[in-house]
Amino acid sequence: MSGVKENETQDSKPVVAAMKPGAHLANPAPLALGGFATTLLSVSLAMMNFRGVFTQTIFMGDLCFVAGIGLLISAQWEMVRGNTFSYTVLSAYAFFYGGYGVIMIPALGIVDAYGGYTPEYHNALGFFVLLWAVFNLFFLLASCAVNIVYVLLFLTLELCLCFDAAASFVMADGLVETSANLMTAAGAFAFVSSLLGYYCVFHGLCQDAVPFSIPMGDTSRVWKRWCNKTTSQNSKSEKDMA
């Protein structure tokens, strides 16, 4: 009898499932993506010279604080939640936005160090943006294993950065009209990318606040299936060679 009671006592104990580290924390991605999209949308309107606005100095608050600090803080919580991809992307663009905003602060004299908006300045700015286009390319490739919306977001952002860099290089060569057209194209891609960012914000909020969800076009299953198929084929080839 005592043995039965001991078994009953053991069976009645609740089983606690192992939780992923940070699983109980709130999702920081909607706030970060909101700051990313809002800042990018503001800058894109100036890049397209919308309503005669060309100078981006007014957006330093968004660049340095909303996107710069906001994304960096959100990134740390993504690290706590164990999301390497989100942590890397948010941290990277926090530094990009912050760095881009610092360049436009007149008190720092960065433009004056080049003697004004000289060809050297435009070439240097082109290098700055182009190298971030290279960095963003890794995010684009990694997003193929996540979802379609992320792929489109990073693709349009990649095109924005490439056209932006090209506009700076062309401006250094003195082709003002061509540079303006390239900058307009960059702004158009940035505009689309910002709208995709807002779509991601709504998706994140739907997971917690409303009883429905919107699709993101999950590609992880297809990606894993393709990887498993490739791995099995490679293993079979190695066995045949052995």
84: Cβ–Cβ under 8 A, 6 or more apart, which residues?
none
Predicted pLDDT at 15:
46
Inter-axis angle of helices 84-103 and 29-47, nearest 10: 40
Predicted pLDDT at 224:
72
Q: With left for phi above 0 and alpha for psi between -120 and 50, is residue 26 left, alpha or beta? A: beta
pTM of the model: 0.82
Q: Record the tokens describing residue 123, joined without a space.
A: 């070439």
Predicted pLDDT at 241:
56
Whose CA is closest to 33, among 99, 96, 93, 100? Answer: 93
Instruction: Provide the 3-class DSSP secondary structure of residue 116.
Output: coil
Whose CA is closest to 213, among 147, 119, 166? Answer: 147
CB atoms near residue 145 (< 10 Å): 16
Predicted pLDDT at 31:
94
Report angle CA 11, 13, 16 to the nearest 5 degrees.
Answer: 120
pLDDT tens, N- to C-terminus, the chain (242 residues): 444 444 444 444 444 445 555 557 888 999 999 999 999 999 999 999 998 888 888 888 889 999 999 999 999 999 999 999 999 999 999 999 999 999 988 888 999 999 999 999 999 999 999 999 999 999 999 999 999 999 999 999 999 999 999 999 999 999 999 999 999 999 999 999 999 999 999 999 998 888 888 999 999 888 777 666 665 555 555 555 55
- Amino acid letter, 155: L
208-216, long-range: CB < 8 A, 24+ apart: 208/26, 208/27, 216/147, 216/148, 216/149, 216/150
Predicted pLDDT at 207:
84
C-beta of residue 94 within 8 angstroms of C-beta of residue 68: yes
Whose CA is closest to 33, among 199, 238, 239? Answer: 199
Q: How far apart are CA 184 and CA 176, in angstroms?
A: 12
Predicted pLDDT at 25:
80
Polymer length in residues for the chain: 242
Q: How far apart are CA 192 and CA 21, in angstroms?
A: 34
Kindly report the three-state secondary structure assignment for every residue of 184-208: HHHHHHHHHHHHHHHHHHHHHHHHH
